Structure formats: C-alpha cells, structure tokens
Amino acid sequence: MHQRLLVARRGLMQLLQILPLTGRPALFSALTLVALPTIIRAAANGVVTGCEFTPYLPFVLIGALLLRWWLAAAVALSAVPILGGFFVTPIHEAACFLSSVAMFLASSAAIIGIVMMLRTIIAAMQRRGADKAASDIVFSLRGGEVWASWYGEDPPLRLGSRARVAAMMKDFLAQEEVGERLSRRR
C-alpha cells in the first residue's frame, strides 16, 4: 500500500512538473476539453435537465493540469455560454442558471488555483533541492543495517549489514587512494 502511494505521489509530481502545453497543441486541447463535456452533457440531456455543469468540472481539472492557467480558465468560462445557449432555454430557469454558473466558476477557480499552487510548491522544492549537491548522501544505521538516502528521494535504500558496508567503504577508499596516487605520477 505504501509503495503504491509513493508511485502515485511521484506520478502526480511528474505530471505537475510538466510544462503546460503551448501553441497549437494547447489550443487543440482546450477545444477538446470544451467539446467532450458538451457532447456528454448533450447525451445526458434527456436524463439531466436544468443547469448542470457537472460534466465540465473534470475537464477543467484536466485543463488545469495540461494548460496554462488562463487557458484552463478559458475552458471553464466557455462552458457558461455553451450550457446557457444550448441546454437552458426556458426563462423560468434563469435563477437556477445564475446560481449554477456562480458555483461552477467558483469550483473551477478553486481547481485551477490549487493546481497552480501545487506547481509553484513543487518548483520551489526543486529549486531548493538544486542547491544541494547530488552527492549529498545520508547514511543511517537501523537494526544493524546501513541505509542510504538522497535529498528529496524516497524511500531510503538498504545497503546491507554494518560489517559488509564498512568493508565495502574501506575497499572504496583504498581504491580511490590508489587512483589519486596514479594520477599524481602522470
């Protein structure tokens, strides 16, 4: 279970680290993110009546993950006239429509804001981690086993028993010393 959570966390961090799409792929994605929920809403029109923005919310989230914030906001904003023009026609539903629009836009703003905040936090963590050298290894001893961990990486790696790791480290240091002596002679 813990391993699956780590994999999911890494996947989410990688997704949030991806630079947002730009250019034609971004425009195509934005149009698709408006068209798909509109098709879903049209298919459910006989079952769902009134001011339902629900099909659009997952696509706003996908837009927030894939696109720049303003383009994700455009996806959310474009849903309002589409839903109002195609699906909400009777005048007596105007009050329902206005309250639904307010709830939908507030939800969309929250989704986009949270994704942008997570991106900012991850970027800050990476900048802070970049200040540390890649060689910053922390060794620890737990239950007679030596563990190594690197800054910003999980989980720690078990290297072996204390005696075995100590012998390997002595061998490594001896090899390094021989290498230095040979390079000084040249």
- Each residue of 9-48: pLDDT tens digit? 777 666 666 668 888 988 999 999 999 988 888 887 766 6
pLDDT surpasses 60 at 134:
no
**56 contacts 100 by C-beta, under 8 angstroms:** no
pLDDT surpasses 90 at 52:
no
Query: Environment class of residue 93 by beta-carbon count within 10 Å: exposed (0-12), middle (13-18) or buried (19+)?
Result: middle
Instruction: Locate the domains of the chain by residue range.
Output: 2-131, 137-185
- Each residue of 57-114: pLDDT tens digit? 999 999 998 999 999 999 999 988 888 777 766 655 677 778 888 999 999 999 999 9
* pTM for this model (two decimals): 0.61
Please tell me the distance from the alpha carbon of residue 162 to that of residue 170, in angstroms, as a whole number. 12
Quote the pLDDT of residue 117.
92
